[in-house]
Amino acid sequence: MLSKNLILALCLVFFAGSSLTAQDFEYIGAAKCKMCHNKTATGQQYKVWMAGPHANAMKSLSSEEALAIAKEKGIADPTTDPGCIKCHSTAGSIDESLNIGVKITEGVSCETCHGPGSAYKTNTVMKDQAKALAKGLIVPDQKLCEACHNEESPTYKPFNYEEAVKIIAHPIPPKE
C-alpha cells in the first residue's frame, strides 16, 4: 500500500512539475520585432522583410492570378479562406489563443520562421542564442519552409531552399 501511495505521489509531482514548466509561447507581431530589428547597426531585418515576398504574401492573394485560381477552386475569397491564409499569413496559421499581436495583414511575419517571440524578445535573451532557443526561438530550416512551399500550393514551383534563403536573407552583421 505504501509503495502505491509513493508511486501516486511521485506521479503527481512529475505531472505538476511538468505543467508548471510547460509554456505556450505567444505571437507578438512584427511591430514588436521592428523595435530592435530595424536599425542599421543590427542589420535592418524588418526593412528587408517588408520589401520581400513574405510581408506581401497576403497582398498576393488579391492579385488577378490568385482570384482566378480561387474561382477555379471554388473559393469565394482567398484572403479569408483558411486553406489560403494558413500559408499567406502567420495569423492564419496559429492557434488564436496564442495571438497577442500578430495581424493577418502582416502576411508571413517574423514569427512564422522564427517562432512566437513573447519569451525571447528581450535583448538580454536574444544576446544568448541558447537562452533564446529555450524560450521559443526557431532557427528556420528547409523542413520549416516546405510546410508551405510544397505541392499543396496551386502555384507550386519546385522549391530550391538555398536559392530561396538568398531572396529573403536578412543577416545580423558580425560583432566587432
CA distances from 72 to 19, 67, 75, 93, 106 (A): 47, 9, 8, 23, 26
Report if residue 148 sits inside a domain: yes
pLDDT for 144 beyond 60: yes
Report if residue 4 sits inside a domain: no
pTM: 0.82
Report if residue 86 sits inside a domain: yes
pLDDT for 75 beyond 50: yes
| Residue 60, C-beta contacts closer than 8 angstroms, at least 6 positions apart | 53, 66, 88
Output the domain CATH number for residue 37: 1.10.1130.10
Report if residue 16 sits inside a domain: no
- From the CB of residue 125, how many other CB atoms can be counted at a distance below 10 Å? 18
The pLDDT confidence band at residue 45, using thresholds 50, 70 and 90, is very high
Report if residue 48 sits inside a domain: yes
| Domain around 108 | 24-168
119-138, pLDDT tens digit by residue?
999 999 999 999 999 999 99
Report if residue 6 sits inside a domain: no
Report if residue 79 sits inside a domain: yes
Report if residue 9 sits inside a domain: no
Per the structure, how many domains does the chain have? Answer: 1
User: Which pLDDT does position 7 carry in this prediction?
Assistant: 44
User: Which pLDDT does position 23 carry in this prediction?
Assistant: 64
